[in-house]
Amino acid sequence: MVDPDNGGSRAGLVALAGRPNVGKSTLLNGLLGEKVSIVTRKPQTTRHRIIGIHCRDQAQLVYVDTPGLHHHEPSVMNRYLNRTAEYVVGDVDVVVFLVEAGRWTDEDASVLTRLQGLSVPVVLAINKVDRIKDKYALLPIIDELSQCMDFAAVVPISATRETNLADLADELTRLIPQGPWLYPSDQLTDRSRSFMAAELVREQLMEALGEELPYATTVAVEAFEPEGERYNIAAVIWVEREGQKKMVIGAGGKRLKGVGSAARQNMEALFETRVHLELWVKVREGWSNDERALQSLGYAAFEP
């Protein structure tokens, strides 16, 4: 690896942008070879700016996973998600515009419109190409999308199978500026372990609950304390109504126990130590549509 301070290095911020649930967090984890962003099958899984730091040869690529950009903004939460994503893409060196092969939506078009005014290079990454058996069918898709904008590069990928991710990283390395590295070579993310613990609980909540309820829940870690060779973690799951609290807990506490058990196992794998996890469920009415409540629960208006 080249010394990042000897003048031959490159470093830059790379935003991963796209509509909700297009695969940005899966792409981030695949590029890093480590899990730093939670992944579920449901949109709005990513609610915060997540940084992943990727050192390769002489380059340091600092990926920024963003919430999906929404075509409509019906709630304070959705407006927060859009502000966070827009802030990130306006303050980076390169943007990756992630779309799904063979599927184009109004939300994709809305994201493209927002990106067309940027002065930085935009790389088009066409995801889920593993689902297209006839690879020649990709050619008209690439051609059509290339007419929409002067992309710096177009790379077909599969984030889940990690297909062509090295090619994507090569293109991004070419586009980031020369300069010293922004972070130490052994740092993977700028997020704290407490933040990651909250996200791992929320990941399991989103998998365990129905289509609507996950978006009325958030998680706040109230204690994160080392004790010998383990972490003692206490977290509160916030919901908006008493009925939602009962749904999260489940009959005889079964659902909450399942969420806690799965989250604890993922924490132990990530932190490489034993974890004692305690969860509580509390009600805070209308938190997701209240600016002050969002800020008190860790949702900053902008995340510089």
Residue whose tokens read 């500026």? 177
- In this prediction, residue 73 carries a pLDDT of 53
Q: In the predicted model, what is the mean pLDDT of the chain?
A: 84
Tell me how many helices (H) and strands (E) the chain has.
9, 9
Which amino acid, one-letter code, is at 20? P
- In this prediction, residue 146 carries a pLDDT of 86
One-character DSSP codes across 206-259:
HHHS-SSGGGG-EEEEEEEEEETTEEEEEEEEEESSHHHHHHHH-GGGHHHHHH
Rounded to whole angstroms, what are the CA distances from 32 to 169, 177, 232?
A: 10, 20, 28
Q: How many CB atoms lie within 10 A of CB 69?
A: 25
Q: CB–CB of 281/239 below 8 Å?
A: yes
- In this prediction, residue 162 carries a pLDDT of 92
10-175: CATH topology is Rossmann fold (3.40.50)
Strand partners, 63: 14, 52
Per residue in 43-84, pLDDT (tens digit) is 555 556 678 899 998 999 999 887 655 455 556 666 656 666
Q: CB–CB of 203/270 below 8 Å?
A: no
Do the strands 218-227 and 230-239 form a parallel or antiparallel pair, or are they unpaired? antiparallel
- In this prediction, residue 208 carries a pLDDT of 87
pLDDT digit string (tens) for the chain, length 304 residues: 444 555 679 999 998 988 888 888 899 999 999 888 766 555 555 556 678 899 998 999 999 887 655 455 556 666 656 666 565 666 789 999 999 988 888 888 888 988 888 889 999 999 999 888 777 778 888 888 888 889 999 999 999 999 999 999 999 999 999 999 999 998 998 888 998 999 899 889 888 886 656 567 889 999 999 999 999 999 999 998 898 899 999 999 999 999 999 999 999 999 999 999 999 999 988 777 777 777 776 666 544 4
**Domain ranges across the chain:** 10-175, 193-296
Where are the strands (E) in the chain, listed by range?
A: 10-17, 50-56, 59-65, 94-100, 122-127, 153-156, 218-227, 230-239, 274-283
Per residue in 117-163, pLDDT (tens digit) is 888 999 999 999 988 877 777 888 888 888 888 999 999 999 999 99
* Domain 193-296 class in CATH: alpha beta
- In this prediction, residue 123 carries a pLDDT of 96
